[in-house]
Amino acid sequence: MTQAQLAQRQDPLLAVRDVSVVFGGIVALNGVSFDMHKGQILGLIGPNGAGKTTLFNCLSRLYQPSAGDILMEGVSILKRPPHRIAEIGIGRTFQNVALFANLSVLDNVRVGTHARTSSDIISDSLRPPWVRRSEASVNKKVHEILGYLDLEDVAHATVSGLPFGTQKRVELARALAADPKILLLDEPAGGLNHEEVHVLGELIRRIRDERHVTVLLVEHHMGLVMSIADHVVALNFGRKLAEGTPGEVQADPDVIKAYLGSKDQ
Ligand SMILES: Nc1ncnc2c1ncn2[C@@H]1O[C@H](COP(=O)(O)OP(=O)(O)OP(=O)(O)O)[C@@H](O)[C@H]1O
Ligand SMILES: [Mg+2]
């Protein structure tokens, strides 16, 4: 039995249960269910308007589903505000890079660690002993991650002056600084060239293998999804169209039909 098959026999890390989202009259998601298992890279695909971003935003708590539930380790996340999902191990990046442009790489990544430490801005400024102690561990963590993502050389550079590809890596570093169990990636290949997409794919795989992070990858770049995902969920018009291994989903007649009628690919 493969590791992926073994994982599927365990309880899911994240369960999407019959989730629907309605905006005014538009049904953006219609009864979507699937499981994410520990250690998976799950690719979420679908033509324009399929509901991928809507689902992503439900997982990161920016949107409230109109019906259904989302369970992390068996517990509903739907009562949790967006700024408190990092505590339970859900980390995300943004499609259009959402860093503090005028801060250094180091400080941006440091912000990520605060999602998991007990200190906040007020206790930081007063600096009682327990904050000082945690500050040393934060610095250690930040430097470990900068090293891991090959960002040490630009640690003190201001984010706004860095190339887009590097900024995306800083965003990944910030998300990893909170030690997520699940990393939600929103079109990480957007705006990258062929070689950069290849490097990104290797990096996502390494993060899964070495840091034991489960990954949800929302992506238009079919080559990337098909080369690194273990499991793929395809959406169309807000419904789940197909689910399975990349090979199964790619060969699914409904998926082929949905993509033929779209400008994707
Ligand atoms: N905030 C919103 N208000 C109203 N309608 C929305 C909103 N967000 C999404 N929609 C609609 O919901 C449907 C699903 O959109 P969504 O952005 O989730 O698709 P997507 O799969 O991410 O598409 P794309 O590949 O183009 O990014 C679309 O019909 C879209 O117009
Ligand atoms: Mg989208």
Q: Which residue has the higher pLDDT, 33 or 219?
A: 33
165 Cβ below 6 A of ligand 1: no
Residue type, 193: N
Distance 63 CA to ligand 1 centre (A): 12
Residue 26, ligand 1, Cβ within 6 A = yes
Q: Is the pLDDT of residue 239 over 70?
A: yes
Structure confidence at residue 2 (pLDDT): 64
Residue 151 in this model has a pLDDT that exceeds 70: yes
pLDDT bracket for residue 144 (50, 70, 90): very high
Residue nearest to atom 5 of ligand 1 (CA): 23
> Which residue is associated with the tokens 């005014």?
24
CA dihedral 155, 177, 35, 58 (to 10 degrees): -80
Give me the pLDDT at residue 119, please. Answer: 47
Q: Residue 71 to residues 7, 20, 76, 107: CA-CA distances in angstroms?
A: 17, 15, 4, 32
pLDDT-based confidence at 8, cuts 50/70/90?
low
CB of 96 closer than 6 A to ligand 1?
A: no
* Cα 55 to middle of ligand 2, angstroms: 9
Quick: pLDDT tens for 94-111: 666 677 888 899 988 988
Candidate of 22, 27, 29, 54 to mutate for ligand 1, largest count of ligand atoms within 8 Å of Cβ? 54
Atom 30, ligand 1: which residue's CA is nearest? 49
Question: Is 23 a pocket residue for ligand 1 (Cβ < 6 Å)?
Answer: yes
Nearest in space to 44 (alpha carbons), one of 234, 264, 189, 196? 234
